[in-house]
Amino acid sequence: MNVGFVGTGNMGRILIESFIESGAIRPSFIYMTNRTNSKAEAIKANYPKANVFDTAEEVVRRSDLIFICIKPLDIYPLLKKLENLLTPNKCIISITSPINVEQLESLVKCQVARAIPSITNRAFAGVSLLTFGNSCHKDTQRTIEEMFEQISNPVQIEDDITRVSSDIVSCGPAFFSYLLQRFVDGAVSETTITKEHAVLLASEMIIGMGKLLETEIYTLPTLQEKVCVKGGVTGKGIKVLEDDLGDMFEKIFQATHQKFYEDLEEVSVQFNKIPNK
């Protein structure tokens, strides 16, 4: 099966590299294009058997599955331009959250799916979020699921939890890497530890914690209970977090959802339908 990629920016590249290196797709079955094609050529330099073309039309003609990895407002005009090539035997897979599968199906006659990946998929880990349109055949769904199983734990979601799920899965690594960096900076600022040493310890700590959760030896609450001895050092630190974090995480979700609704309204102008919040 030939797999196309329209857009080879950050997430498009992560998907291509992850699929190739996991063995999910052979390089010779990959067809890609990008507005700045030097980005696609840079990928081909690492995987010479992959195929680069100048236009999306050329990629679509040769592909069975087509990943659409471009900005939300660029999708509508692209699909209008490609609609005659998007026949029912093909399937487009959008990776953007503001456009749902029903909107995509209103534009094209081919099969439709949405897949929201995470940077953690580059390590063949974490979750990828899948939503299938009514047009998407069962065998196509299974093919997509099997591809993502090679690089992640694919989870099907309904449209109403798309944004919060994406916040956790896709934005989460950036949020928590920022918090971890601040954790390191605080240690360096308040003690004599070097930044290099603190980064090493913090990175190994977070990797180890992930492995503990993966084995299900501890849940998040029990992990805290095991480390936090009553009246001990960890308890003092937890008390600071309880006092100072406040509603920070609630505000994060409020901010991401506000931006999401703004994106929805912009996209919906193209689709002539204002979304419900």
- Window from 102-106, 167-171, 175-179, 235-239 with minimum mean pLDDT: 235-239
Q: What is the pLDDT of residues 112-123, one digit of tens each?
A: 999 999 999 999
Q: Is the pLDDT of residue 233 over 80?
A: yes
Instruction: Find out if CATH 1.10.3110.10 is the number for domain 3-157.
Output: no
Conformation bin of residue 23: beta by default, left when phi > 0, alpha when psi is -120 to 50: left
Please give the average per-residue pLDDT across 72-77, as a whole number. Answer: 94
Residue 147 · residue 19 · CB < 8 Å: yes
Phi, psi of 194 (to 5 degrees): -80, 155
Other CB atoms within a 10 A radius of the CB of residue 78 amount to: 18
State the helix-helix crossing angle for 10-22 and 37-46, rounded to 10 degrees.
20
Q: Is the pLDDT of residue 274 over 50?
A: no
| Annotated domain spans of the chain | 3-157, 165-251
Q: What is the pLDDT of residues 13-61, one digit of tens each?
A: 999 999 999 999 999 999 999 999 999 999 999 999 999 999 999 999 9
